[in-house]
Amino acid sequence: MITHGNEIKLFSGNSNKELSKAIAKKLNTELADNEVCTFSDGEINVHIKETVRGRDLFIIQSTCNPVNDNLMELLIMIDAAKRASAGRITAVIPYFGYARQDRKARSRDPITAKLVANLITAAGADRVLTMDLHAEQIQGFFDIPVDNLLGGPTLYNYFAKQNNIDVVVAPDLGSVKRSRKLAEKFGVPIAIIDKRRPKANVMEVMSIIGDVKGKRCLMIDDMIDTAGTLCQGAQAIKDAGATEVYAGCTHAVLSGPAVERLKNSAITKLVMLDTVHLPEEKKEKLLGKIEILSVADIFAAAIENVYLDKPMSKLYD
């Protein structure tokens, strides 16, 4: 058990209990006792079953599907802890939902990511700990400290051990920065899929910039939702002469037709992190096609650094 002034307390919502337990195990502690349930009309009720007065609280909750329920759980847990006189509250959000709504793409559009940031702050969070925000500028939406951890190094370490990557492919222009960093670490060239998106979750591949013929390619993205971008991109790479296509992502949201698309895709293997809980039925359908890596050690190290007021910079090196 970590000891430093006031005792540390780890709480978990219902979104990703497995990850919460793994983080607690890495910290050589257990999840604190709390109950999160739902009334018959859908209202969420939270009851903290042990004292938290003056304690350093870390509330672990991804705001994934069902997004609104999990977000409300997080907000209510923060409020309950605040009203119970917790010393400091850190919202640990491995996957931050609503991050794609970070700007006004059209007139009269909301900036929902900013609204969610306001809600978390107003609920009483003193700090946010998250991973691979879809848009890095969301850190500036908060008026409290935000640590945006990186999932890329975990994916890099996995593929580096396999030693089977010749080209890193950016699935869209928004992923170029992330893909270039990874390509530099591998010491391989980068290719880019130039696409246009006529409407949300619909993607049409235009062309591939770079040489993928006869190459083993790796596509990296921060998240996979319906998997349309990834699967169409993988097929385009294959059609351009690539021998194998691998993929990696931090947040495997996998909604709608994603599982069937991935199952029937040209992707040899998809490596994902466990920021979002993947139900057993989805794992079974993708058996042999996916590999899940845990981020428990990264979040455990970050929680310990926050708790002990140690610098976070080593986690970004």
The edge-to-edge listing of strands for the beta sheet with 146-149 is: 8-12, 56-60, 88-93, 127-131, 146-149
Q: Specify whether 135 is located in the same domain as 183.
A: no
Q: Which residues constitute the domain of residue 301?
A: 8-150+296-316
- CB neighbours of 315 closer than 8 A, spacing ≥ 6? 149, 150, 298, 301, 302, 305
Tell me if 158 sits within 8 A of 307, measured CB to CB. Answer: no
User: 271: domain CATH number?
Assistant: 3.40.50.2020
What is the pTM for the complete model shown? 0.92
Q: Specify whether 19 is located in the same domain as 89.
A: yes
Q: Specify whether 253 is located in the same domain as 188.
A: yes
For 304, the token pair is: 């310990």
Q: How far apart are CA 71 and CA 116, in angstroms?
A: 9
Q: Of these residues, 9, 195, 215, 238, which one is catalytic?
A: 195
> Across the strands, what pairs with 251?
223, 274
Q: Specify whether 101 is located in the same domain as 83.
A: yes
Using CA atoms of 89, 136, 62, 44 in order, give the dihedral in degrees to the nearest 10.
Answer: 70
Kindly state whether residue 2 falls inside one of the protein's structural domains. no
How many folded domains does the chain comprise?
Answer: 2
Going residue by residue through the chain (317 aa), what tens digit of pLDDT does each one get? 444 446 789 999 999 999 999 999 999 999 999 999 999 999 999 999 999 999 999 999 999 999 999 999 999 999 999 999 999 999 999 999 999 999 998 899 999 999 999 999 999 999 999 999 998 899 999 999 999 999 999 999 999 998 889 999 998 887 888 899 999 999 999 999 987 666 666 656 668 999 999 999 999 999 999 998 899 899 999 999 999 999 999 999 999 999 999 999 999 999 999 999 999 999 999 988 999 999 999 999 999 999 999 999 888 87
- pLDDT computed for residue 54 by the predictor: 92
Based on the residue annotation, tell me whether 195 is a catalytic residue of this protein. Answer: yes
User: How many Cα atoms sit within 13 Å of 31 on the Cβ side?
Assistant: 19
Kindly state whether residue 221 falls inside one of the protein's structural domains. yes
Q: Specify whether 168 is located in the same domain as 40.
A: no
Coil, helix or strand at residue 195: strand
Q: How far apart are CA 119 and CA 167, in angstroms?
A: 42
Q: Specify whether 193 is located in the same domain as 265.
A: yes
Kindly state whether residue 248 falls inside one of the protein's structural domains. yes
Q: Specify whether 57 is located in the same domain as 163.
A: no
Phi, psi of 135 (to 5 degrees): -130, 120
Q: Specify whether 129 is located in the same domain as 257.
A: no
Kindly state whether residue 1 falls inside one of the protein's structural domains. no
For 190, the token pair is: 């980068």
Coil, helix or strand at residue 193: strand
Q: Specify whether 156 is located in the same domain as 188.
A: yes
Q: Specify whether 164 is located in the same domain as 36.
A: no
> How many CB atoms are located within 10 Å of the residue 83 CB?
11
Residue 156: is it exposed, middle or buried by C-beta count within 10 angstroms (0-12/13-18/19+)?
buried
For 173, the token pair is: 């222009």
Q: How far apart are CA 254 and CA 223, in angstroms?
A: 9
Of 249, 242, 238, 244, the closest CA to residue 205 belongs to: 238
Q: Specify whether 163 is located in the same domain as 246.
A: yes
Q: Specify whether 146 is located in the same domain as 265.
A: no
